[in-house]
Structure 1
């Protein structure tokens, strides 16, 4: 066992990655069972092997450090006998988003780590999720289901901003390429969220969870419309949604605990995306739009947190000792 103990940051990052990978692998196991295209199946299996390795490595580190291994999620959280719920096109989108989110999450975990073995672990994770993203994009392009960002004509000479009019929310200039990129990607992630919410709403047996998922579907739909409108005004075509991402299956496929936890993860990711987009955008109307919609996502995430607490589904991350409680206990 390494002589240097894990830092609080390292424990926290390893903990959340363990829990999230035990959730993700339930989807991947189900995808492996239901995917029809063999080339997409190979990407699913690559992701499945990667998540399994992450789970095993973190479990080993925790046991070596004599830390409690989180419960996370397991085979009880997925019905492997359920009919096909997601199309192969959705699975490619899911894998691509998993790779993209993984590069960011593992990169952040790496930057917060100090111990050599932990840095090496997260470095491998960054490499593997980059490979996953590339494989998902490649197979998506080959199958004609990967949505490319738009191509535009740009000025031939370097220009500098001539005044505050460039930032104005009232005299709106055409979008720059950075703003287009964020709008486009946020539409795509909301399309994925909309499909996930629709699938969970039609398969959950709990009226409470169904209502929560329908609310999430409506939020995603509204955000897609908002971002698409901005692109349309600049005569840029937004990515088109598809009603074929989810099948007509109504059989419960995933546990309510798992699907609410996933919505929590997606909401957190969405807030991060909106924050990055707000910071990168140089038109004040876009900044205000991202900030306003981010509040809506935060409130939705809180509703999910309340649901998890209500039903006893929320596993506590490792935390520092409460010194006041220790002092009180020792004095009794």
Structure 2
């Protein structure tokens, strides 16, 4: 067994642990608020299981920081949630949220595991990948049971194997376009679902944000996610394929009382944007048809610019906690 008593955490390890702390403390605030107004007993049980896991994560992460004599991040606290605020989202949206966030977390934890070298960090992410995987499956099966999980469309089975014979396989704009590949369909369906959830969440946030600047930012985000949703739906519709998603803005109530601080809502939107940029990149690499790659590149550029504007708002308001970073050698040399 590796003896890591004197092995310092690497930049990758401390960064992933720090980011996990931010995400988990934010999730705890959301889950506690959800549990205050959820009606469905099965969804309540899922939220409780998720909250228990997140609280254990924060305890474990705090132990990491203390052991390393590293300052425990501030993250998000009870000051960032108003548990007495009226309901903003429906039970259905709570379930969709858990499905989406466990998906994001599985991707993040897998990347953290790959980047880790120290055995205790490897063990932490290995164990929690399994725990989050169970929650994801639990949420997915519950969504199927309740009839709200929309499957991707089916494609015909080939009679035999075949090989690509024409360069038109890559065409997208001017030549005759081939039908979509299964992997291209899967990615398009995923993005319609993700943008539908994002649009609903940010619609709710635009109603309750305290400052005018943040409200306007969320309104802009609502329009962007709606436009992206329409683009992906139209591509699938042209192929006579169901998009596997539905508008979820009707799952937002008319409440104008903020359950969360503007800081927390901006952070959650930032997480959704970062996930979107990453997934668009993966989809671009997996989509040989040129028109799809062009769409993904253009939409990535749009949300990257939106993310930068959001970061500026967060910095101006003093909400951005400093992530782990390298020493500024130039500044040290000039002292």
**TM band (smaller chain):** over 0.9
Aligned match of 2:220: 215
Question: Secondary structure of 1:244's partner?
Answer: helix
2:209 equivalent among 186, 204, 213: 204
1:1-332 paired onto structure 2 within 5 Å: 2-169=5-172, 170=174, 171-238=176-243, 239-329=245-335
Q: What is the Cα deviation at residue 97 of structure 1?
A: 0.8
What do the CA deviations read for 1:61-95 (whole angstroms, capped 9, x no partner)?
Answer: 11010001111101111110011111111011100
What do the CA deviations read for 1:235-290 (whole angstroms, capped 9, x no partner)?
Answer: 00112223432111111111001111111111110000100000001100000000
Q: Which runs of 5+ in 1 are unaligned?
A: none
For 1:12 and 1:204, the matched residues in 2 are separated by 29
For 1:148 and 1:263, the matched residues in 2 are separated by 25
What do the CA deviations read for 1:140-195 (whole angstroms, capped 9, x no partner)?
Answer: 11111112111232322211111210110131111111000000000100001100
Q: Structure 1 residues 13 and 242, CA, compared in 2 at 3 Å: closer, same or farther?
A: closer
For 2:246 and 2:262, the matched residues in 1 are separated by 29
Q: Which runs of 5+ in 2 are unaligned?
A: none
For 2:73 and 2:136, the matched residues in 1 are separated by 27
Question: Secondary structure of 1:34's partner?
Answer: coil
Give the TM-score normalised by structure 1.
0.97
What do the CA deviations read for 1:180-214 (whole angstroms, capped 9, x no partner)?
Answer: 00000001000011001100011112111110001
For 1:326 and 1:204, the matched residues in 2 are separated by 41
Which structure 1 residue ranges, 4+ long, deviate > 6 Å from structure 2? none
For 2:79 and 2:118, the matched residues in 1 are separated by 35
For 2:215 and 2:289, the matched residues in 1 are separated by 37
For 1:167 and 1:225, the matched residues in 2 are separated by 23
RMSD over aligned CA atoms reads 1.1
Q: Structure 1 residues 138 and 160, CA, compared in 2 at 3 Å: closer, same or farther?
A: same
Q: What is the Cα deviation at residue 130 of structure 1?
A: 0.6
Q: What is the Cα deviation at residue 123 of structure 1?
A: 0.5
For 1:124 and 1:147, the matched residues in 2 are separated by 29
The number of residues matched between the two structures is 329
Question: Secondary structure of 1:313's partner?
Answer: coil
For 1:142 and 1:47, the matched residues in 2 are separated by 19
For 2:295 and 2:332, the matched residues in 1 are separated by 47
Question: Secondary structure of 1:140's partner?
Answer: helix
For 1:242 and 1:121, the matched residues in 2 are separated by 35
For 1:76 and 1:10, the matched residues in 2 are separated by 28
